[in-house]
Amino acid sequence: MFNELCCEDKTYRNLVGGKWMDSKTNKFIEIHSPIDGSLVGKVPSMSREEVDEVIKNSKEAQKTWRDVPVNKRAEILYKAADILDERAEEIGAVMALEIAKDIKSAVSEVTRTADYIRFTADAAKAMEGEAIPGDSFPGFKRSKISYVNRVPLGVVLAISPFNYPVNLSASKVAPAVVGGNSVLLKPPTQGSISALFLAQVFKAAGLPDGVLNTVTGKGSEIGDYIVKHTDIDFINFTGSTSVGYHISEITAMKPQLLELGGKDAAIVLEDADLEHAADNIVSGAFSYSGQRCTAVKRILVVDSVADKLVELLKDRIVKLKSGDPREEGTVIVPLIDNKAADFVMELVEDALSKGAKRVIGEKRKDNFVEAMLFDNVTLDMRIAWEEPFGPILPVIRIKNIDEAIDIANRSEYGLQSSVFTKDIDKAFYIADKLEVGTVQVNNKTERGPDHFPFLGVKSSGMGTQGIRYSIEAMTRPKAVVLNLNK
Ligand code: NAP
Ligand code: G3P
């Protein structure tokens, strides 16, 4: 099994038309572990000609796949989920090495993906069409009836980010294929080996040749060519806001779903359970070193309880285990690369130079950054507005609810927010006013459970993920109108 997609010198292959295809250009990208720089493997840097060949294969395969009954498609997904569960430890270990995700989170990403795939199969079987009689509209008779069901869009381009290379690939692939589409998966370069293992699982589960094909290569080199390709019918992208904007600009009129960056605020009111809030904020801000789109990335706390909250946060942060993600219990792990750490430290220096108070954490070595908390953060500081994608957390003190809402909404992002309060009326008042996709009441910001709608507004995205929503996004209604005689 392992040898299919790789060989002795750790050179990986892409899945094309049901076969593991060697690079035709002999151009490769070396993937090194963020943990220790060791070589994880080499993946092909595919050329435009290779991309053309792969997309042609995807387009051809979809013509047959679209006619496979949904119960047969579902059977393959159930099998893929079972294989993922069986290989969770193995694939989790690859992921821990490739993206420095702590081993517990890496393995749970794989098992969560298995659950996601099963639920997708269930949801697809439950999705029915409708029959709409004409006479409910003035001037028409009952003899005119519209039969509506959902049909696939064609070839879906799935582009996933480094921080969830298995889950955020499968959360595109599974709903797309169960909807009758074929998928071209362009995984993150740092994460592509983990994603190739996912592709292997779908192949082993019996997904017909060409229904899932992979294309590895740097997005900055081959990305524009792929997204603009005439035979790509839908783009399902998860990644940074800057790349999302870029894709959207160069692909006018191409249907797409964009899940982008975030700057999720945790709003803490004076009546909040501060212990509970501190637990949730620390977990939400620092798991996987804050490299989650839904990480808590700023705290807006009423001044009267700010000192207490900062103390409680500090007590928790100091206990977070840092180090090698392959060791059980590690939370603060090496960031994905030095460039990411440089950006995080830029925000830190800017905040300190403008008067932020460092509460805890200061060390940075190469791509490792300690968990850091800053108090008295003001709105002239970059850390108040920019997405660090790293383990640094700003505390902004506010006077009242309306100031919290104002500051929260001034962000360019609108993914999620948390509100910590015992007053349900205040919670709903704030939730109603926040310009975000989701408001968590008395909980950290997070995407799961995965059947919930998950969406960003403003610079956080366009369209809605979440199992049923994803199937709907990658299919469309098809109406057949019967005009009977009587
Ligand atoms: P990224 O740099 O935007 O890359 C995301 C994906 O896009 C990668 O596969 C990348 O390929 C590819 N790509 C880059 N340039 C491209 C282009 N011109 N055309 C087509 N594809 C291109 O993001 P990341 O660093 O992997 O992930 C972190 C970001 O994603 C953060 O901003 C985070 O907030 C966001 N994110 C959002 C969600 C959400 O659900 N809202 C979830 C996870 C992450 P390469 O890897 O080869 O560059
Ligand atoms: O950043 C990835 C996004 O999908 C967040 O998922 O479950 O960590 O909130 P989660």
pLDDT single digits (tens) 47-59: 999 999 999 999 9
CB neighbours of residue 8 within 10 Å: 6
**Chain centroid to CA 419:** 23
Q: Is the pLDDT of residue 2 over 70?
A: no
List pLDDT tens digits, range 336-347: 999 999 999 999
Hey, CA dihedral for 91, 94, 97, 100, is it positive or negative?
A: negative
pTM: 0.97
What whole-number distance in Å separates Cα of residue 369 and Cα of residue 362? 8
Residues forming the active site = 259, 293
Q: Which ligand is nearest to the CA of 246?
A: 1
Residue 431 is predicted with a pLDDT of: 98
**Chain centroid to CA 132:** 37
The answer to whether the CB of 205 falls within 8 A of the CB of 79 is yes
Largest CA distance in the chain: 80
- Residue ranges around ligand 2 (CB below 6 Å): 163-164, 168, 292-294, 446-448
Residue 128 is predicted with a pLDDT of: 87
Helix, strand, coil percent content, the chain, rounded in steps of 5:
40, 25, 35
What whole-number distance in Å separates Cα of residue 83 and Cα of residue 76? 11
Q: Looking at residues 317-342, what average pLDDT do you find?
A: 98
Retrieve residue 192's tokens. 């592509």
What whole-number distance in Å separates Cα of residue 75 and Cα of residue 208? 12
Residue 16 CA to ligand 1 center (angstroms) comes to 23
192 lines ligand 1 (CB under 6 A): no
User: 337 exposed, middle or buried (CB, 10 Å; 0-12, 13-18, 19+)?
Assistant: middle
Residue at token pair 């000192």: 307
| DSSP characters over 33-94 | -TTT--EEEEEE---HHHHHHHHHHHHHHHHHHTTS-HHHHHHHHHHHHHHHHHTHHHHHHH
Residue 359 CA to ligand 1 center (angstroms) comes to 31
Domain ranges of the chain: 3-260+462-478, 265-451
**Chain centroid to CA 316:** 27
Q: Is the pLDDT of residue 272 over 80?
A: yes
Per-residue confidence at 100, pLDDT binned at 50, 70, 90?
Answer: very high
Atom of ligand 2 nearest to the CA of 168: 4
User: CA-CA distances (angstroms) from residue 229 to 25, 63, 120, 223, 392?
Assistant: 20, 18, 28, 10, 39
Per-residue confidence at 485, pLDDT binned at 50, 70, 90?
Answer: confident
In one-letter notation, the amino acid at residue 253 is M
Q: Which one, of 41, 51, 22, lies nearest residue 195 by Cα?
A: 41
Q: What percent of the chain has pLDDT over 90?
A: 97
Residue 95 CA to ligand 2 center (angstroms) comes to 16
Pocket test for ligand 2, best of 238, 447, 460, 465 (most atoms within 8 A of CB): 447
Atom of ligand 2 nearest to the CA of 164: 2
Quick one: which H or E segment has residue 297? strand 296-302
In one-letter notation, the amino acid at residue 175 is P
Mean of the per-residue pLDDT values of the chain: 97
Domain spanning 3-260+462-478: CATH superfamily: Aldehyde Dehydrogenase; Chain A, domain 1 (3.40.605.10)
235 lines ligand 1 (CB under 6 A): no
Residue 3 is predicted with a pLDDT of: 66
Q: Looking at residues 12-28, what average pLDDT do you find?
A: 96
Q: Which ligand is nearest to the CA of 240?
A: 1
Residue 441 is predicted with a pLDDT of: 98
Residue 6 is predicted with a pLDDT of: 84
In one-letter notation, the amino acid at residue 19 is K
Backbone φ and ψ for 300, nearest 5 degrees, come out as -115, 105
User: At what angle are helices 167-178 and 103-126 packed, to 10 degrees?
Assistant: 10
Retrieve residue 369's tokens. 């950054």
221 lines ligand 1 (CB under 6 A): no
The answer to whether the CB of 282 falls within 8 A of the CB of 154 is no
Q: Looking at residues 133-161, what average pLDDT do you find?
A: 97
Residue 168 CA to ligand 2 center (angstroms) comes to 9
Pocket test for ligand 2, best of 264, 389, 446 (most atoms within 8 A of CB): 446
User: 28 exposed, middle or buried (CB, 10 Å; 0-12, 13-18, 19+)?
Assistant: middle
222 lines ligand 1 (CB under 6 A): no
Q: What 8-state DSSP symbol labels residue 22?
A: P
Per-residue confidence at 403, pLDDT binned at 50, 70, 90?
Answer: very high
Retrieve residue 59's tokens. 């387009």
List pLDDT tens digits, range 185-213: 999 999 999 999 999 999 999 999 999 99
Class of domain 265-451: alpha beta
User: CA-CA distances (angstroms) from residue 197 to 2, 39, 42, 95, 441?
Assistant: 9, 17, 14, 10, 37
List pLDDT tens digits, range 238-264: 999 999 999 999 998 899 999 999 999
Residue 372 CA to ligand 1 center (angstroms) comes to 25
Q: Which ligand is nearest to the CA of 446?
A: 2
The answer to whether the CB of 435 falls within 8 A of the CB of 456 is no
Q: Which one, of 98, 212, 207, lies nearest residue 157 by Cα?
A: 212
Residue 231 CA to ligand 1 center (angstroms) comes to 22
Q: Which one, of 237, 248, 238, 192, lies nearest residue 215 by Cα?
A: 192
What whole-number distance in Å separates Cα of residue 110 and Cα of residue 131? 39
Bridge-based pairing of strands 461-462 and 212-214 is unpaired
